[in-house]
Chains A and B, each alone.
Chain A
Amino acid sequence: MTVINIINLKKSFNDKKVLNGVFLKLEEGEKIVIKGPNGCGKTTLLKIIAGLINPDEGIVEISPGTKISFMFQNPIFLPWLNMEENLNLTCKDPSKLKELIDYFDLKDYLNLFPHQLSGGYLQIFSFVRTFTIPHNLLLLDEPFKSFDINRKEKAKAFLKSHLDNKKITLLMVSHQEDREDKEIADKIFNLF
């Protein structure tokens, strides 16, 4: 079953062409990594698929009943809530949340507010949040960007097992030539 079918997608911002005729097809359970230099439209592509921004031209078909979870490139948390309140606010799967908090050893950081955490920790919390809502299409925008090596390995291991167990389709955006991309992805595409 085709989960995403993108035909001739075009998007510009202030006359600057970001996406110029993108074609992409993802079957259920497929894991694809998209790579490319800064400003080539990777994030824009993910946001269009997630329905966060509209394309200028082209067709984006998402199969009916697809539940999307999206990990933003820059972690977004409400600054007036601590991390526990932030996670609970959007969480639809408390047991999964607890499992991930334990897995990443984040208990001691739950009472802290976003401004009290490093970029790396915010990224981990953002990663955790992605798995706390029902989904069968996972959109990850540079998920391991600010992780330290230890947490990167853990996150990667978790993601692999998560994808193995279910028919989850993955579309991940990555900036550098990362080793983990090959471990996770079925296919790697370059966006220019």
Chain B
Amino acid sequence: MKNSLRFKITFWIIFFLFWYLMGKRINSPTIFPYPHKVLLKTISLLSDTEFLYNLGITAIRSLVGLFLAFFIGFILGNIKNEKFYVGIRNIIDIFQSNPLIIWITLALLWFGFGSKTVIFTTFIMLFPNLYLSVYYALKNIPTEYIELFKIYPISKKNYITKFLIPYIKPFILPVLANSTISSFKISAMAEFFATNNGIGFLLSYAKTFLNTEYIYAISIYLFIISKFLEYIFRKMNILKEDLKL
């Protein structure tokens, strides 16, 4: 057995053991349910159509927010004008300096209760990194390539497909991968306050009725989705391999 696998198994055994002992010590399923009960709840959710439906809604909202952030970030990132960049950079500073909850509150005021608020919040949180990755990748095209295409001009189509996209890919894909992973979490958080469906809403609902096992089970799903996406992106060599023991 590989060292890294042995370490992972040991880690999770200790983790669940610690969880079990804490549950026993606290002795309150409302505050700290036992791990096996949470696991049973997690498994039972697989056949819960309401849960799956809400999971789908969150996925769609996060993908729409991600797509808008990437699309607008890509278009604006292609504008090389320095004054335009400084303007956008100032807007990005406003986006990044305020906590997520401020944007959810403002979006609630602007768009009201529902999907628009979730999508807007996801967009606000993802746009800065996507825009900056495109802008800096294009800004830092090595002079040698610029000189090459001045002497040996090629068609616009070839420039985009044979040069620009392959060149920009290693700069954008890791950011896009991380944004995809984050989008789900951001959407779920926005849903907590701003919708009456989606995973975030289920969390809010479960909290109201102190359905702690349900909250733990949902958080396990969010963890699994995040790790699954990370695994896929690592397999595709978009994200670098993590530290291995």
Contact = CB atoms under 8 A, between A and B. Distances in A.
B227 interface: no
B151 interface: yes
B144 interface: yes
Contacts of A70: 151
A88 to B, nearest CB: 10
A81 B148 CA distance: 15
B186 to A, nearest CB: 33
A68 B151 contact: yes
A35 interface: no
B158 interface: yes
A192 to B, nearest CB: 26
A52 B150 contact: yes
B64 to A, nearest CB: 31
A69 B162 contact: no
A80 interface: yes
B110 interface: no
Interface string B136-151: 0000000011011011
A67 to B, nearest CB: 11
Interface residues of A, number: 18
Interface in B31-70: none
Contacts of A85: 162
Given A78-B162, A78-B163, A90 B154 contact: yes
Contact of B154 (A51, A72, A89): A89
Contacts of B158: 89
Contact of B144 (A50, A72, A129): A72
A80 B154 contact: no
A93 B158 CA distance: 17
B152 interface: yes
Nearest to A139: B151
Given A90-B152, A90-B154, A76 B162 contact: no
Interface of A: 47, 50-52, 68-70, 72, 74, 76, 78, 80-81, 85, 89-90, 129, 133
7 contacts: A50-B151, A52-B151, A78-B163, A80-B166, A89-B154, A90-B148, A90-B153
Interface of B: 144-145, 147-148, 150-154, 158, 162-163, 166-167
